[in-house]
Structure 1
Amino acid sequence: MKDRIDEMDFKILSLLADNAQMPYTEVAKKAGISPGTVHARTKKMINLGLIKGATLNLDYSKIGWKMTIFLGVYLRESFMYKQVIEALRKVPEVVKIHHSTGKYDIFLKMHARDSMHYRDVYQDTILTIEGIKGVESFMSVEENMSRHIAFE
């Protein structure tokens, strides 16, 4: 079936997840298929919404953004999550947002240049968003792993 994912698709995904800039010719060589097959299968997975694009994995500290902070957000009313998420999407320092279960209604990740920058974003932007009842912050001391699931 055209819209089904098989073992070869998972092999391609694993190779691209490890290095999204790997040329299709190299993916094909490692997977034992033709570059045209890699292209067709990758296009299929993009069309299915499985592959949402390719991103760079940046070390923000090397460009002066020394803080990574996770925020657990409490909402005044749970139905307000969509409007709060939309407001958070507009904060340039926020890089990931999850509508979550458990202790927090929303959990997010953000970066800041330093503690003063974080304080400004936190106090002047995030805490002023309509619908936010409270926030708990957690500073990352060091990221030790970032990866995709291995499908093999």
Structure 2
Amino acid sequence: MPQNYQIDNLDKAILSALMNNARTAYAELAKQLNVSAGTIHVRVEKMKQAGIITGAHISVSPKHLGFDVCCFIGIILKSAKDYPSALEKLNALDEVVEAYYTTGQYSIFIKVMCRSIDALQQVLINKIQSIDEIQSTETLISLQNPISRSVNP
């Protein structure tokens, strides 16, 4: 299946429904969208093959799991060639939950979740800033996350 698969309105409706509740049965979706369950199955499989649907996920509340501190850290590397090894070391840290290779001031921008400010301080000093490839960091602490959503198909 080519990666340039063009979605239509039915695909968009299927995606919207599944993004709202990934556990919705194909039969239920078919009923809602006035098509057969087989049609839903075929469309979902085509979107999986095209790389549009990459999986189904359960969302958890970090706060309810005891992770009260969310921050973003801009990382300046010593050299551009250090990116692969720095990324590998960052990936090994459980506290790093997202990473982006960026343009502009920072080479890498990461999202970090910690249980407390003290824990964040330990992660910064003992884990992140001790990575040899990192020249410097800038930390931004998130006060709240008022908007969090996926793209609208």
Choose which of 118, 135, 138 in structure 1 pairs with 2:137. 135
RMSD of the alignment, in Å? 1.6
Query: Which TM-score applies when normalising by structure 2?
Result: 0.88
Aligned residue runs from structure 1 range 85-96, under 5 A? 85-96=87-98
Choose which of 122, 125, 143 in structure 1 pairs with 2:124. 122
- Which residue of the partner structure matches residue 100 of structure 1? 102
**Structure 1 unaligned spans of 5+:** none
Amino acid at match of 2:22: A
Q: Distance in 2 between matches of 1:104 and 1:29?
A: 49
Instruction: Indicate whether 1:145 and 2:147 are aligned.
Output: yes
Amino acid at match of 2:100: H
- 1:23-78 CA distance string (max 9 Å, x none): 22232233332222222221222222222212222211112111111111111112
- Identity of aligned pairs, percent? 31
- Which residue of the partner structure matches residue 5 of structure 1? 6
- 1:124-150 CA distance string (max 9 Å, x none): 111122311111111111111211122
Q: Distance in 2 between matches of 1:25 and 1:122?
A: 49
Instruction: Indicate whether 1:45 and 2:42 are aligned.
Output: no
- Which residue of the partner structure matches residue 84 of structure 1? 86
After TM superposition, give the deviation of residue 18 of structure 1 in Å.
Answer: 2.2
- 1:6-34 CA distance string (max 9 Å, x none): 21222212222222222222322333322
Amino acid at match of 2:151: I
**Structure 2 unaligned spans of 5+:** none
Q: Distance in 2 between matches of 1:11 and 1:88?
A: 37
Q: Distance in 2 between matches of 1:61 and 1:25?
A: 35
- Which residue of the partner structure matches residue 58 of structure 2? 56
Find the residue that maps to 2:59 and give its secondary structure. coil
**Divergent runs of 4+, >6 A:** none
Change (3 A) 1:83 1:31: farther
Query: Which TM-score applies when normalising by structure 1?
Result: 0.89
Q: Distance in 2 between matches of 1:29 and 1:136?
A: 51
- 1:79-112 CA distance string (max 9 Å, x none): 2212211211111111111101112111111110
Q: Distance in 2 between matches of 1:118 and 1:21?
A: 35
